[in-house]
Amino acid sequence: MMRHLFILCFSLLLIVFLLGCAGEKISTKGGGPYKLEVQLPKGTLYSNTELDFSFNVKAAWSNKTIENIRRAHESLFHIFVTSKDFNEFSHLHVDGLSETEGDLAYSFKHKFKRAGGHRIAIEFVHNGQVWNRFFDINIADKKKVDRKEEFIAPENFSVTLYNQGNVYVGDLSHFELEINKNNRPVRNLELFLGAELHGVIWKSDWTDFGHLHSFTPKMKAIFDEISSRQKQNAPNLKQLQTALVELICEKTELVFEGPKIPFKYVFKKAGTYYAFVQVAPNGVPKTFRLIIEVVDRSLG
C-alpha cells in the first residue's frame, strides 16, 4: 500500500515538474488542414540564451498526430526565423520525433541574437504538397539594449544579384546570384541540404512568403512542361506540383559550383521584398540578405 502511494505521489510530482518547465502553448497560422501548436519555453524569452521549443502536427479533422511527414531537402521540417526588422535570419532543421509529456512531438533549439519581434515559419511536406505555418514571438534583452545595427554579411564575402530590367508582379522573374570572396569569384560551392542555394523571401509587410532554391536543369524541365501545357490549354497543375515536390524530396547532385547560381520567383504583390539566401562555399553555409523592389506593370 505504501509503495503504491509513493509511486502515485512521485508521479504527481513529476507531472507538476514537467508542467512547470513548460511555457505557453500557442497556435500557428497558415495553410493546410492541420493543427500545429508550439510549446514555448517557460518565462521570459531572452536573447543570447539557448531556448527549447517543441511542436506537434495534428490533423484538424481528427486531432491525431500526423507521423508520415516527408523528408524534403534532407530534413522533415525547415524552420525559418526572421526578426521583424529583417536584420536577423536563421535556418533550422528538425529530423525526428521525441516524446514529450507522453505525446509525440518535434523539437528544436535556438539562440536569438537580438531582442524584438520575430516571425517563425515551419515548412513541411505532406500529402504531396508543401505547407507553411507561422507564429510570432517577442524576445527580450536582459541588458535593455536597443539594437539598431543592420544585417551583418559574412566577412570577406559579397554577392551581386542580376536580373533583366524591372521585376513585375505576376511574372516568372529570373535572377542570378554571383558570389565573391575577397573580390574574386567563388568556384567551390557545395550542396547545402540538397541544393546549391536555399532562401526565403518575405514582403516587407509580412503578407507574402516563399522558399527559394537554385533553378536546376531538372527544375527547368518541369517549368517548361508547365508552359507547354498552359499553351495547349490543358494544364494539369496538381500533377506538375506533385512533380516539383518529388524533385525536392529526391537525392540531388551538385550542378552549380559558382560563381553564379540562378533562381526564379513569382511575386504576387508590388512592394519591397527581403530575401535571405544561403550558399555553402567549401561546404560552409553563408547567409546573405537581398532587397528586391517589385512593381505593378499596370502602373507603368
Fold of the domain spanning 18-139: Immunoglobulin-like (2.60.40)
pLDDT at position 14 is 40
Beta strands 77-83 and 34-41, pairing class: unpaired
**Residue 266 pairs with which residues in a beta bridge?**
172
| Domains 18-139 and 157-216+252-299 agree in fold | yes
pLDDT at position 243 is 79
CA distances from 106 to 31, 43, 63, 228 (A): 19, 21, 16, 41
Q: What are phi and psi of 226, to 5 degrees?
A: -60, -50
212 in Cβ contact with 79 (< 8 Å): no
Residue 116 DSSP label: E
pLDDT means over runs of 10, the chain (300 residues):
45 41 84 93 93 93 88 93 96 79 80 94 93 96 67 94 93 95 97 93 96 92 76 58 83 94 95 98 97 88
pLDDT at position 247 is 87
Cα gap 246→72, rounded to integer Å = 9
pLDDT at position 152 is 87
244: cell is 516539383
Q: Considering the entire predicted model, what is its pTM?
A: 0.86
Could you give the count of Cα atoms lying within 13 Å of 78 in the half-sphere of its Cβ? 24
275 closest CA partner among 213, 189, 192? 213
Cα gap 46→43, rounded to integer Å = 9
Domain boundaries, the chain: 18-139, 157-216+252-299
Q: Write out the H or E segment, with its range, that includes residue 121.
A: strand 116-126
Cα gap 207→294, rounded to integer Å = 14
Q: In 173-195, which positions are buried (b, 16+ CB within 10 angstroms) versus exposed (e)?
A: bebbbebebeeeebeebebbbbb
pLDDT at position 13 is 40
Is domain 157-216+252-299 classified as CATH 2.60.40.1930?
A: yes
Q: What are phi and psi of 21, to 5 degrees?
A: -85, -15
